[in-house]
Amino acid sequence: MDLLIFWDDRAPAGIQAALSRELEYILPLDPKVCESHFVVTGYMPARRQTNAAVLLDSLDLYKKRSGVNGPILLVVSEDLCREGDEYLFGLSRHSTGNAVVSTARLGNEYYGYPPDDGDLIDRLVKESAHEVGHLLGLAHCPYPECIMHNPLILEDIMRQKRAFCPACQAQLQRLS
């Protein structure tokens, strides 16, 4: 099954192929970066953030209209949040097979360090695989090095390995 990767115009350019290649190693899907005309919605001026739940509502609608069936991963640069969450690295909706990840807090520069594409790709790969893991039916995993461990801060993502732990891997095989 294909995993369509929608790359927003404002998301960092030049790392799409790297993300797609890395995800292919981790996930039982064929990632395909494609042109998308999806317009990012959900911006909340007062918070200067984007409501990820509202954004996923629009993505659900877009998907329905365009007749796509498989999972979609949208990559944006907007800082994401949700009611009850100060910020989010990403959000997924299993019922519609749509997920969004944000690069806003994945780059070194957000934390005052020099930018590094290698670091950014590494974190984006893990966060993307995590959200797509949810789309495939996986829940959060207590093992800190597993892709499915719930990352609350950047250090959590940095601690993860680019793989599902044996338990999650086994569950993934049962699900697919």
Binding segment toward Zn ion, per CB under 5 A, in 30-38, 41-49, 62-70, 161-169: 161-169
Binding segment toward Zn ion, per CB under 5 A, in 12-20, 22-30, 103-111, 160-168: 160-168
Closest CB 161 distance from Zn ion, rounded Å: 10
Q: How far apart are CA 82 and CA 91, in angstroms?
A: 9
Q: Tell me how far CA of residue 137 lies from CA of 97, 108, 132, 143, 148, in angstroms.
A: 10, 31, 9, 17, 11
Catalytic residue among 22, 78, 127, 131: 131
Check if the beta carbon of residue 128 is closer than 8 Å to that of residue 23: yes
Binding segment toward Zn ion, per CB under 5 A, in 46-54, 61-69, 107-115, 134-142: 134-142
**Tokens 């790709």 -> residue:** 121
DSSP helix/strand/coil, 67: coil
For Zn ion, the binding residue among 20, 146, 160, 171 (CB under 5 A) is 146
Does the footprint of Zn ion cover residue 168 (CB under 5 A)?
yes
The string of DSSP codes covering 107-128 is: SGGGGTS---HHHHHHHHHHHH
Does the footprint of Zn ion cover residue 52 (CB under 5 A)?
no
User: Of 63 and 130, which CB lies nearer to Zn ion in the complex structure?
Assistant: 130
The residues annotated as belonging to the active site are 131
